[in-house]
Amino acid sequence: MLNISRNSIASKVDVNKYSSLRDVEGKVTKRLIIRLIKWSVFILFVIAMLPWTQNVRSSGAITTLSPDQRPQDIPSIIAGRIDQWYVQEGDFVKEGDTIVVISEIKDAYFDEDLLPRTENQLNLKKQSVVSYDQKLLAQDDQLRALDELRNLKLQQTRVKIQQARNKAQNDSIVYQVAKVNNEVAQYQLRRMDSLYRQGLKSLVDLEKRRIKAQESQSKEVETRNYWTNSKNELVSLQIELGNIQTKFANDYAKILSDKFSTETDKFDTESLVNKLENQYKNYEVRRGYHVIKAPQDGYVTKLLVQGIGETIKEGQGILTFMPKNPRLAVEIYVEPIDLPLMNIGEHVRLQFDGWPAIVFSGWPDASYGTYGGEIYAVDKFISPNGKYRVLVKPDINDHHWPRALQFGSGCKAMILLQDVPVFYEVWRKINGFPPYYYKQDKGVKEPDKKK
């Protein structure tokens, strides 16, 4: 009974007559409640003391560590027209296998004999360079011969000048002698005339002396003319020496100018040879681009250009190519507040799309269907989605990732941090505190990405 009223009727009612009332009044509920409370507190205490692994949950997709193992578009280096396909979507090709053959669409490369013609032009220009070399050698020989001839001419003219100088000096002496003789003869004539006037000499002697004086005077004039002619000849030879030097200097300058012109033509021809060699090499390499080959072993996933005769531009993608056996990794994105917790070598648990798993984020050892990974790299700049990208590679000490994983598949990740009690994690979540910063040992080094 509830016994709410102060007027009890317990003495007036026979409890034994009512079985239900007898059962209710006979139960002891206080002990059961106390036991339930005790066991509940004990269980909660045990759960609160259990270890809990702090973690940061994120999602991402499968990628590769090496950029050369990621899907790529195979472009055409040159503009052209598709002539023949050798593959179709889904085919496996090996490195160097022909994928498609294209032909030229630019009129500058239509000539089928373009390479032989260019090679012929190149050979002719090379022969022109050789001819210019021979011409330069001939002009050097001309300069040497002209220099030798100039030296001989100058030496000959200097000898003539010396002879003319000696002759002029000799004629000067003869003139001086004739001049002295003439003065003596004139003096003797005056004496003879004086003696004739005095009657001491005859007229014949006077006339003889006059004739001799005239001869002496004539000899003086003659020797003076010879001396003047010698001086004129000396001056003429000196002028001739200057003319010879001027003439040979002009001839030497003309040949030297021709030599410089030849060298200029040679340099222009050599420049043209280099240009033709470059052009020939470009033509040769361009011919190799008519056949587009597989860069490595892989699969043709999607053809971006269809049909025969369709034209394509330079750098336009022709098909999408996926390399064979890529080294898979996972790229996940974390919030900026969790970035300081990301360290190289940190352990990560991964759940791939299509592989069922039972996940206990706080007890990774009890999770089923998850795979291990290690943080390989952390971006130093934020992504367009406002998060930081983290690359995760397979953990070699854990189970191998499924072989059927494909590039681009989705996955979920749990970055494992420090182990703490459950009650601390609940308290941290209620207060909104960040997890502990997990520091690696100093002996742990970043992996060699080149390997």
* 245-285 confidence digits (pLDDT tens): 899 999 989 999 999 999 999 999 999 999 999 999 998 88
Question: Model confidence over 371-417: pLDDT tens digits?
Answer: 888 989 998 888 888 889 999 999 888 888 888 888 888 888 877 76
Mean pLDDT of all residues belonging to the chain: 82
With b for 16 or more beta-carbon neighbours within 10 A and e for fewer, the 18-49 pattern comes to: eeeeeeeeeeeeeeeeeeeeeeeeeeeeeeee
Q: Which residue has the higher pLDDT, 275 or 208?
A: 275
Closest CA to 292 of 72, 78, 113: 78
Give the side-chain half-sphere CA count within 13 A for 52: 22
pLDDT for residue 7: 66
Q: Which CATH class is domain 114-288?
A: mainly alpha
Sign of CA dihedral 299, 301, 304, 309: positive
Count of CB atoms situated within 10 Å of the CB of 348: 25
Mean pLDDT for 42-66 is 79
CA dihedral 295, 300, 306, 311 (to 10 degrees): -10
pLDDT at residue 3 greater than cutoff 60:
no
Which range, 115-119, 189-193, 418-422, is most confident?
A: 115-119
From residue 100, alpha-carbon distances to 71, 85, 110, 312 in Å are 19, 5, 19, 12
Question: Model confidence over 345-371: pLDDT tens digits?
Answer: 888 888 888 777 555 455 455 455 688
Phi, psi for residue 281 in degrees, rounded to 5: -65, -40
Own/partner long-range contacts of 375-384 (Cβ < 8 Å, ≥24 apart): 375/342, 375/343, 375/344, 375/345, 375/346, 375/348, 375/415, 376/65, 376/329, 376/344, 376/447, 376/449, 377/344, 377/449, 378/339, 378/342, 378/344, 382/336, 383/333
Q: How confident is the model at residue 34 (pLDDT cuts 50, 70, 90)?
A: confident
Least confident of 44-53, 150-159, 294-303, 409-418: 44-53
pLDDT at residue 445 greater than cutoff 60:
no
From residue 389, alpha-carbon distances to 60, 140, 374, 379 in Å are 9, 73, 14, 6
Question: Model confidence over 278-302: pLDDT tens digits?
Answer: 999 998 888 888 999 999 999 998 8
pLDDT at residue 159 greater than cutoff 80:
yes
The structural domains of the chain, with segments of one domain joined by +, span 1-49, 50-69+326-451, 72-104+290-323, 114-288
Cα–Cα dist 231/235, whole Å? 6
Helices (H) and strands (E) in the chain, counts: 5, 14
Question: Model confidence over 103-149: pLDDT tens digits?
Answer: 988 888 888 888 889 889 999 999 999 999 999 999 999 999 999 99
Q: Which residue has the higher pLDDT, 220 or 86?
A: 86
- Domains 50-69+326-451 and 72-104+290-323 fall in the same CATH topology: no
CATH 2.40.30.170 for domain 50-69+326-451, yes or no, is yes
pLDDT for residue 293: 92
Q: For residue 341, what are its two tokens?
A: 């917790």
CATH number of 72-104+290-323: 2.40.50.100
Give the side-chain half-sphere CA count within 13 A for 138: 8
